[in-house]
Amino acid sequence: MTAAMTETAKIRLADFSFRYGKTEVLRHISADFPENRLTAIIGPSGSGKSTLLSVCNRLWTEMPEAKVHGKAAIRLAGEWHDLCDRQAPSQQLRRKVGMVFQTPNPLPMSIFRNVAFPLKLAGVGDREQIRSRVESSLRRTLLWEEIKERLDVDARRLSGGQQQRLCIARSLVLEPEVLLLDEPTSALDRTAAAGIEELLMRLKSDCTLVLVSHYLEQVERLADQIFEMSGGILCSLETG
């Protein structure tokens, strides 16, 4: 399906540019990423894909060298938030914009505590609420049936694909509205990658997904909208 510009935008960029010091990395980007759709960004290494993700969760504000121009905004709980304002608070925003990386990065603790960790950081103290949100997150990532008998096991003992689904569950436990995925299947074998793809197809019914991928075939299978990044310029590709 081709996402029309008339769909509700979740992230909107208008003549947006980004520099690290004097080096311009993103150039005059204008694009809408629609709500509850999967937008994919392909393109060679070093073209600016991860930098664009770091704009979407305001991670760029942690980098003193980074400078932004133009407009970038995200709509959370119906309200637009400026992604270009370095001074705006980021903590709440980052709870609603999850991030999943190329290499699964479980914390050195049990499966249960990994998924519960963001809730603890967010100050959720009610044990029953924590238990039920962890279970629901693990169900959403199709892990629950596989691991419900060994929630106390160290998460690093899971397979690569299970670890990545666990990391997605850890992001989902805060009920994010947007999930940013930076090459989430690159470190996995084909079977595990297929499991993540199936999961993404399910998640996009109630979460906006932005997927950076090296694999055109993969994004053609999954994406509602595809962009190609080249030298910091973002071009729309037609989807089938």
Q: Are 212 and 183 in contact (CB under 8 A)?
A: yes
Residue 143 amino acid letter: L
Comparison of 19 and 96: residue with beta carbon closer to ligand ADP: 19
Q: Sign of dihedral through CA atoms 107, 109, 112, 116?
A: negative
Comparison of 118 and 232: residue with beta carbon closer to ligand ADP: 232
Q: Enumerate residues 47-66 that contact ligand ADP by CB under 6 A.
A: 47-51, 63, 65
Comparison of 19 and 113: residue with beta carbon closer to ligand ADP: 19
- Shortest distance, CB of residue 68 to ligand ADP, whole angstroms? 14
Cβ neighbors of 149 (< 8 A, separation 6 or more) are: none
The Cα-based distances of 158 to 34, 191, 234 in angstroms read 34, 15, 37
Cβ neighbors of 119 (< 8 A, separation 6 or more) are: 129, 130, 133, 134, 173, 174
Question: Which of the stretches 44-52, 72-80, 94-102, 202-210 binds ligand ADP when contact is defined by CB under 6 A?
Answer: 44-52
Comparison of 101 and 144: residue with beta carbon closer to ligand ADP: 101
Neighbours of 161 (CB within 10 A): 21
| DSSP conformational letter for 5 | T
Q: For the window 141-180, what string marks contact with ligand ADP as x by the rule CB under 6 A?
A: ----------------------------------------
Q: Enumerate residues 209-238 that contact ligand ADP by CB under 6 A.
A: none
Asked if 46 touches ligand ADP (CB under 6 A), the answer is yes
Binding site for ligand ADP (CB under 6 A): 20, 25, 43, 45-51, 63, 65
